[in-house]
Amino acid sequence: MLNKYIWLTAVSALLLSVCNPSLATESVKPIAAFKAPLASESLLTDLTSVNNEFLIAVGERGHILRSIDGINWQQAEVPVQANLNAVSFVDNQHGWVVGHDATILSTVDAGVNWQIQQFLPELDKPLFDVYFRNQNQGIAVGAYGMFYRTNNGGETWQAEFHAELLSEDDQDYLLELKEIDPAAYAIEQGVILPHFNRIHAVGDFLYMVGEAGFAAISSDFGQSWQRIEAFYNGSMFDIASTSQHSLLAVGLRGHAFRSTDSGESWQETELPNQATINSIVLDSAENIYLLGNAGSLLISQDDGETFANHSQDDGKAIVNGLIWQDKLILVTEIGIKTINLSEMN
């Protein structure tokens, strides 16, 4: 079921594929990703620029690709075949990737080689995002409230359960269940929270969004959280802050919301189409790009108040992207796609 969820998240309410039955037992051992000549044309889900020196893209079947020019891509050595969902670097050497099977990978050589820090196929749950604020302190989040923390660069990861993100009724229910049925309590802890889809840092604050209108804020690097009053009842897949200090949150069926008061209140922004929005990209010229399903590419030049439609004719889902040397580089359901920014003027 969770493979279905990541398709929902990334491709057409996005990665709807069936679970791999080989991942259902605790005896599963990691198998290294195959070197695939067409890896750059397969489903890719996240992309980052590392100090403007090189690019790292991640995707299905354990694919991690590296490029120094945005044109030529080399596949890294990766010890797992799990679908990978997010990548984060803190400097030009140290990075982390997360994905299915609660996988966490790390690199210390600029993304050329990757090592397993965590691989838990018995959980049958994906991690969706990872964020490090320095070389030691990081957070990884995912399905059904999965939340892991490290304070030593990922040498060890500790699971956390954030009950404060539940409603009061659910908190009371769990406390009662803990007293009368500890085994059921342990199971319920693993399914009662919503999916955590994306983390975003703004100064000393962390914002997190997820399914069913979930949004929360933390001022202590995720040690504690406060839920933001719901402003939408559908899933949200990204949140970002603009150069003018507005917040944008985007998600299912072309829904986008904007806050100018640090998330205290939100106003819906009308978009040109209703395709699910997967990611938000910003550039140094204060343009905002919304990337989504069905080739959806929307651009704002007024801090997210309005968006113009530049959607792609091929109709392929765009999962994420970034600006690189006057180009918009996208990761899509059919791999890397590059658009010259001059073509969108």
Write the CATH number for 229: 2.130.10.10
Whether 345 is in a domain gets the answer no
- Please give the residue range of the domain that contains residue 333: 2-340
Task: Kindly give, in sequence order, each residue whose CB lies less than 8 Å from that of residue 217, ignoring residues fewer than 6 positions away.
Answer: 205, 206, 207, 208, 225, 226, 228, 263
pLDDT tens-digit readout, 130-187:
999 999 999 999 999 999 999 999 999 999 999 999 999 999 999 999 999 999 999 9
Mind listing the pLDDT tens digit for each residue in 31-67?
999 999 999 999 999 999 999 999 999 999 999 999 9
- Angular region, 305: left φ>0, alpha ψ -120 to 50, beta rest: alpha
Percentage of the chain modeled with pLDDT above 70:
92
Residue 22 has pLDDT above 60, yes or no: no
Do the domain assignments include residue 248?
Answer: yes
Q: Give me the number of domains the chain comprises.
A: 1
Cβ atoms of residues 258 and 266 within 8 Å:
yes
Residue 23 placed within a domain: yes
- Residue 11 resides in a domain: yes
- What pLDDT shows up at residue 110? 97
**Tally of residues, the chain:** 345
d(CA 102, CA 335): 23
Residue 129 lies in a domain: yes
pLDDT at 191: 95
> Is the pTM value of this prediction over 0.85?
yes
SS3 35: coil
Asked if residue 55 is part of any domain, the answer here is yes
Asked, for residue 310, whether it belongs to a domain, the answer is yes
| Token pair belonging to 165 | 């993100």
